[in-house]
Amino acid sequence: MNRKQRVNVAYQVLMGILAVLAVGIAIEDVVKGLSKTWNVVDTVILWVFVVDYVVRLVLARDRKRFLKENVLDLLAILPFNSMFRGLRIFKVRKVLRISKVTTTTARIARVCSYGLRWTRNVRAFLNTNGFKYMLLTAVVLTLFGGIGIHFAEGMSLEDGVWWAFVTVTTVGYGDISPHTLAGRVMAGILMLTGIGLIGSITSTLTSYFFSGRKERTYREELVEGMKNQLDHMEDMKEEDVREFIELFSMLFKQSQSLAKDEERAYNYPTSLHMERGTIMNQVYENMISRRSCRAYTTQAVKQEDLELILKAGINAPSGMNRQSWRFTVIRDKDKMMELAKAVGTVLDRGENYDFYRPDVIVLVSNDRENTNGLADCACALQNMFLMAHSLGIGSCWINQLKTICDDERIRPLLDSYGIPKEHIVWGIADLGYAKEEPKKKEKDEAVIHYVG
Ligand SMILES: Cc1cc2nc3c(=O)[nH]c(=O)nc-3n(C[C@H](O)[C@H](O)[C@H](O)COP(=O)(O)O)c2cc1C
């Protein structure tokens, strides 16, 4: 354990203890009121939480997200008591009454928030390495062991459960040892479970405190995985090496663009972690955090990133594997606006129609005779959106061309891009860096129906 890790453990433990203490003090305050000493302790704890909150906010990669995810922590540190103490100088009865009610409410909110903070940590700990299952097994075995020994050895039920407890925790009491075969078998099972439990406590502590699981981003997960691959280089196959190099080059490019990017106003949340036990499912994470973007900065999408996005598009499934689609890329802004203006005119949207002014548009078209044409293009477009999102690039489906491709004001433009006459542009992919956080649209889960 290096120094940084030791400090991290000590800090987490200290914050946990303070949270528990703060809950106790807050309850005492609501029920009876606090003595002077406890008031001081309470104030000190409050300040520790204030500093903790501010430092975490300052260090947070995505502050907006931090603020959203830590509302309760903020509520816990609001100095309601002092604010209302200030109001008391007016000595108006009504103000005094309001101040008392609000201070008590704030207190209760603080109890909840400290409590939640604590339980959140406990829950995360119990989920680490499936520790909760080990704990549950130990508890169930202790109960059954206690009842079993009661019957096998004729101990009282209380002594039986106590014996099972000391055995499973491997503390053991020499004066209560089983004499019957059944009792000894039970003791053996309990001891083995106990050894497993202790081992799993140690490994859970290590994973919980040192893996940095809660804060790791998609990018950090990738780097961690790559470090592991380097540690076990002898197990790598040629294709692993190729993939490693591709990933490395992608990460390198990303870090270059992140460093240079001053214009990007909103950093896409590519790191919203999805937990299933301890498994982070990055594909799912990417899918659920993608949203349509309708305002872009002027920052250019790197050619290499665009190529990755297009590659993701052509790797989509297509009916009968026809791949009769075409991906037409337009980067030139004059060309892009010329098309937008034509679309705006044809659809009576005015000449200022602009596809939201992304950096790139990709016209995804398909043979009109292909009955799967639209479906194929939709698959390709979604692949592109997801790939873009994983690179921190915003995207949106633009639908306007599909019904007007053969209009005399549109077709000549499509001809000039080399799009075959028999093609319909089923969708346009806007691509660019998001100017602001795209709206998080709620997804309706009621549309899922199991019928058997
Ligand atoms: C077939 C299709 C056509 C769409 N056309 C447009 C469009 O022309 N303009 C637009 O702003 N968004 C368009 N969208 C984006 C949807 O409005 C968007 O996906 C929806 O509101 C859900 O939001 P989300 O993508 O952020 O989850 C289209 C999406 C699909 C799938």
Instruction: For residue 351, give the CATH number of its domain.
Output: 3.40.109.10
Atom 31 of ligand 1: nearest residue by CA position: 397
Question: Is residue 440 lining ligand 1, measured as CB closer than 6 Å?
Answer: no
pTM: 0.47
pLDDT > 70? residue 431: yes
What tens digit of pLDDT does each residue of 225-273 get? 888 888 888 888 888 888 888 888 877 877 766 655 444 434 444 433 3
Atom 6 of ligand 1: nearest residue by CA position: 398
Tell me, in angstroms, the distance from the centre of ligand 1 to residue 141's CA. 54
In a domain, 231, yes or no: no
In a domain, 424, yes or no: yes
Structural domain containing residue 405: 303-432
The DSSP code for 296 is B
Domains identified in the chain, total number: 2
Q: What is the CATH number of the domain that holds 31?
A: 1.20.120
Paired residues of 329 in beta bridges: 362
Pick from 5-9, 339-343, 442-446: least confident: 5-9
In a domain, 260, yes or no: no
In a domain, 19, yes or no: yes
Picking from 81, 15, 22, 21, the residue whose alpha carbon sits closest to that of residue 52 is 15
Pick from 249-263, 299-313, 351-365: least confident: 249-263
In a domain, 71, yes or no: yes
Q: What is the pLDDT of residue 44?
A: 86
In a domain, 308, yes or no: yes
Question: Is residue 347 lining ligand 1, measured as CB closer than 6 Å?
Answer: no
pLDDT > 90? residue 89: no
- Name the domain boundary from 130, 160, 187: 130
Picking from 365, 362, 371, 368, the residue whose alpha carbon sits closest to that of residue 326 is 365
pLDDT > 90? residue 304: yes
What tens digit of pLDDT does each residue of 392-427 get? 999 999 999 999 999 999 999 999 999 999 999 999
The SS3 assignment for 367 reads strand
- Name the domain boundary from 130, 151, 174: 130
Q: Which long-range contacts (CB under 8 A, 24 or more apart) does 132-141 make?
A: 134/196, 134/197, 134/200, 135/197, 137/193, 138/168, 138/193, 138/194, 138/197, 141/168, 141/189, 141/190, 141/193
In a domain, 33, yes or no: yes
Question: Is residue 291 lining ligand 1, measured as CB closer than 6 Å?
Answer: yes
Q: What is the pLDDT of residue 167?
A: 84
- Name the domain boundary from 106, 130, 154: 130
In a domain, 178, yes or no: no
